Chains A and B, each alone.
Chain A
Amino acid sequence: MNFSDTLFCAKKGFIHRKITNQDVLISVGSGIADFNGYILLNSTASFLWDMLKEPQNVQDLTKALAEEFDVSLEEAKSDVDEFVMMLLDKGMLEEI
């Protein structure tokens, strides 16, 4: 799927917290009807989720991820696509 022109933003309804060294997203508000619990995030997911608190497109996410974790743009693009698809599938992301 081509997301090149689309801006994405994390939906409200999750609180991003650190539990010791582990990042978690805790579902809050009316969204608990769909998902009642919490999600553990790895470091890249946590980084991307933080960025998605503001509207972002896939290119910007990819570039930032590649810089932050010192990986190739191809590898970063693959991770971003997978993460965005998963969030869309779970209804955690909205297209602006």
Chain B
Amino acid sequence: MINLETMPPRYPKNGTFELTLRCNLHCKMCMFRREDCENTTLLQDEMTTQQWVDMARQVAEAGTISLLITGGEPMLRKDFCEIYRGIYEQGFIITLYTNATMVTEKVMQTLRECPPHRIGITLYGANNDSYNKVCGMANGFDKAIEGINQLRTLPSAIEYRMTLIKDNIGDLDAICQLVEGFGGTVTNPLFVFAPVRGGCMPVQECRLCAKDSVNTMINRSVSKIEEMIPDSLKSKVRIKLKEPTFECHSSEPKMTLLGCSAGMDSYTITYDGKLIGCQTLGVFSTDAVKDGFSVAWEKYPFQVRLPEEPEECTVCESKNFCKACPAVRMAECGSLDGVPKYICDFSMALKKKVVG
């Protein structure tokens, strides 16, 4: 049972508005994507334009300052511009996530008047072939570049992201070069989650094996650090990887709700109006449309029921390298107390790379 007295104060300062789960792309590694045949139902269940704008008003009153607008692909909604403008006018630090393939003139007109503070653009490959293989869109690369060139005319800060899988790992250097040309850098997640919240894509088949994922991450990080060392010092500097000394987050669920900031200072409003702590964990929720945001936020902790961490994990030698959390366990094992094999492999490979 959650004991609110032993937890730090909760405050909803960072929000995520998931405008839709639908997307124009069919990315193999998407953790959220549902079957196309579900689109009609998903569409019917989506919050309306007015409900989103009203939700923005409510979360502003509750003290939210940063708001991430995401999907699915948010620009797929026909009323994206109306929702976006209605949210923007309430006054938030806005981040907009997009695949940049649906940037129409109407969207640009809205974004010029209401530029997001930050735009996160996900790239899926360095050419149309890769986009076709990864996302099922034959001209996806051309469309994304067209969209990026439009979005770059805005005063917004832009971050470029890439999810590496077997089909696009060969494009990594080309994408980094491309993005450098835009004056940016590419970030990618540590590892690719198995599907969550009813997602249906064959993620486990297409993601990198844990060892390759670790090697790519470490090699990229080291080369980024090396680039920052002046030539005159390169022969004198040696980069040493060090074992983290902190305990992993999953060992501290009682200090927070889920072992991280989810539900403590951040939350997600799903496409259908549920309040969840983290976009990747749908098992605990309250109803932000029916109850209103503030009541839903206050009720949320009482929905969270976490089992004890598996004993195998508490004594694991790779514990300090482990990134397992309730959302990861649920995604990988289908239960909150499962031992996620892929993450175990990842943690062991990371430990081996760092401490030998």
Contact = CB atoms under 8 A, between A and B. Distances in A.
Interface string B148-161: 00000001110000
Interface of B is mostly: loop
B150 to A, nearest CB: 16
Interface stretch (A31-39, A42-50, A81-89): A31-39
B113 A29 contact: yes
A29 B94 CA distance: 11
Contact of B117 (A15, A19, A36): A36
Contacts of A26: 65, 91-93
Given A17-B60, A28-B114, A38-B65, A33 B91 contact: no
A24 B63 CA distance: 11
Contact of A17 (B88, B91, B114, B156): B91
A23 B93 CA distance: 15
Contacts of A28: 88, 91, 114
- Interface range on chain B (Cβ under 8 Å from partner): 20 to 34
Q: Residue among B89, B91, B155 with the most chain A CB within 10 A?
A: B91
A37 B117 contact: yes
Interface string A1-33: 000000000000001110110001011111011
B115 interface: yes
Nearest to A30: B155
Contact of A19 (B13, B114, B155, B156): B13
A15 B89 CA distance: 8
Contacts of B118: 36
B91 A15 contact: yes
B11 interface: yes
A36 B115 CA distance: 10
B334 to A, nearest CB: 39
A36 to B, nearest CB: 5
B115 A32 contact: yes
A67 B155 CA distance: 41
A28 B112 CA distance: 11
A12 B93 CA distance: 16
Nearest to A38: B93
Given A19-B63, A30-B115, A37-B117, 10 more contacts: A15-B89, A16-B91, A20-B63, A26-B93, A28-B91, A28-B114, A29-B114, A32-B115, A36-B117, A36-B118
Interface of B: 11, 13, 60, 63, 65, 88-93, 112-115, 117-118, 155-157
